[in-house]
Structure 1
């Protein structure tokens, strides 16, 4: 029967979620490096990185060319 050897197009699909870049990860706010007359404190809010931007999903057999953009 033709059911045993069929191929579905679900295994090799590419979704635009895996390699997206969000403008939240590398934004610079004017809060991190301000100078106040209280004594030069630094807050670690300015240049934080979130690991949400470049996640990889192990679904199917897709290949992504990530070095040659």
Structure 2
């Protein structure tokens, strides 16, 4: 990474080229999966809680799975 990073500026990194988004992923719950944008989702899950006890843990799972698909 040292050869990619131009220099440190405080707590930030400065890159020689502007970063860009080269991949994305979307995971939707059952309600979104029935809507007009359903065909654009990479994955539609049946259980929007992913079997988790709290919405926060379920959201974390959504994010982790979306990142896995994007990478």
Normalising by structure 1, we get a TM-score of 0.20
User: By percentage of residues, which structure has more strand?
Assistant: 2
